Structure 1
Amino acid sequence: MTTVPVRRPLARLVGDLLLPRLTAVALWAWVVFNLALVGWVGLQSLKTSGEVWLSPFSLPASAAWENYDSAWQAGQFSIAALNSVVLTALGSLLIVVIAAPAAYALSRSSRRIAGPITGFFAAGLSIPLQTMAIPIVVAKLSVYTFMVDWVTGWWDNRITLLVFEVVLSLPFAVFVLTGYFRSLPKEVEEAAELDGAGPLTAFVRVIAPLARPGLTTVLVLNVIGLWNSTLLVLLITPLPEERTLPAALLNLYSTMQYSSDWGGLFAGIVILIYPMVILYIWLGRRVVEGMTAGIGK
């Protein structure tokens, strides 16, 4: 009878003190491992192929900056980088512009259908892109044929890629922003209405500035997602001049593995991943704040 009260406080002590500390240690270990891996990749990009194999964990004898020029030329990164920048910028802005009003309307709607619609957007997050590969290819071919034969006489598959990237990214953006808009007080909208502002004016001049952390979160996460998009690019853009950096990196890998230019291959990886790493380090705190603000709303 006396052992029961002793075991419960001990279990609570382990759960309240030990488990959070172990979780924090594990998370920090994971962060350090990933940062070390990113730094290691950057280090390899400055080595010759012999140094990559013979001394993978040592500093390079001299920085081989020519690896970046070799990767840039062999991977045809010029047009790929331009495609990545344009598609990522346009796609991310379109996603926010479309998702923000839709999420605001769902968060403020008093109709019963608003909840199920939000649930449908959440359900869209669970559909793997691989399961839609064949429909995407069929739709791409149909759009290309229709535009060339009936409308303009020409078509660029990068436009189709942009449309698909925006459409497939909207469920996540709407779902996150709906929760964030619900966390904002309704009193600010009521005050704007008393001043004579309509729904659109209140949204643009009052709600959107207040929702800047949430909008920034969605924007940054979509920039990272669109920049790293690979499968969708391979499905929609058949020509090398239409492809983005991740697809160009795959082409670089097939080239470098035969020439054994491993330093150039690591340089190509750095060109692809370092901009997003820097972006997330710069705006990471705002992303976390935007993701957690709408929890439970």
Structure 2
Amino acid sequence: MIRIQQQRGRSAGPLHAAWAWALRVAPVLFMALLVALGAGTAYAQPVSPAEVLLFETNHLARTRAPSALFYDFRKVSNVEAGFTDTVELDLTKEDGHMHARLRFLSGERKRELPDIDDAHGNPVLLGFLEHDIAEMKRLTGGSTTYFRKRIRMALANTAQVSKQTISFQGKSYDGQAVRIQPYLDDPLHARFEAYVHKTYTFILSDAVPGGVYQIATTLGTSGPGRTINATADAAKGVQAGVQPGALADGRVAKRPEKASDPPSIEETLTLVRVTDQKR
């Protein structure tokens, strides 16, 4: 059985280094993922529809610059305290090239990520995956290489792509959802059995700035692929006096009713607003 450890540790070094190097060298985010998730320089398999949607699509093609995209990030857990925080993507353009600066979370949770001088894909995808893998390593002591490999294989071989309707700023738009369960058929599931049903959901739409509307992971019994209306939740939080980056109250930090309750962790990143930075 997996042992969820309570201590916090710094464990993102190798992944961070690979991710930073890849983003500086590769002009397309898909190539960055291959390096960051351990695919090496050769990749003989045909590219799957899920990989095309996530990492071979220019998500920023229709996004005006300069502008700032703001995402709501929230964690709900019965393992440790949950929280709400923000992710900000600042975009500027010079000589036809899109420059991207990602500010992923804040305070002690902040992740230092490299700027991208010629961005095509949305950096929040790799930012979220880096955070996710680092958290799994922290909680389990597992190998980052193992987690990278399982995510990469799931995107290439077993990802499900479906139509998805999203709601952004009071309007409905067509989108697509990519769902994977990287550990479902894992031969090593006995070592990480709490992750067997972990589900990743990526929701994309050409109609929203940045192309990426929501990224979510679910570990527990809340049901795979459940999405959270973070726009509405964030508004309620502001009305209740909960500020971004503050430790959340019982709405997002629930404790197990019984010691025997299985671990439950949900993390969700959702686009909530866009600000035009032109003066």
Establish whether TM, by shorter chain, passes 0.5.
no
* Range class of TM-score, shorter chain: under 0.3
TM-score (ref. length: structure 1): 0.21
* Structure exhibiting the larger radius of gyration computed from Cα positions: 1
TM-score (ref. length: structure 2): 0.22
| Higher relative contact order structure (alpha carbons within 8 Å, sequence separation ≥ 6) | 1
Indicate the structure with greater strand content. 2
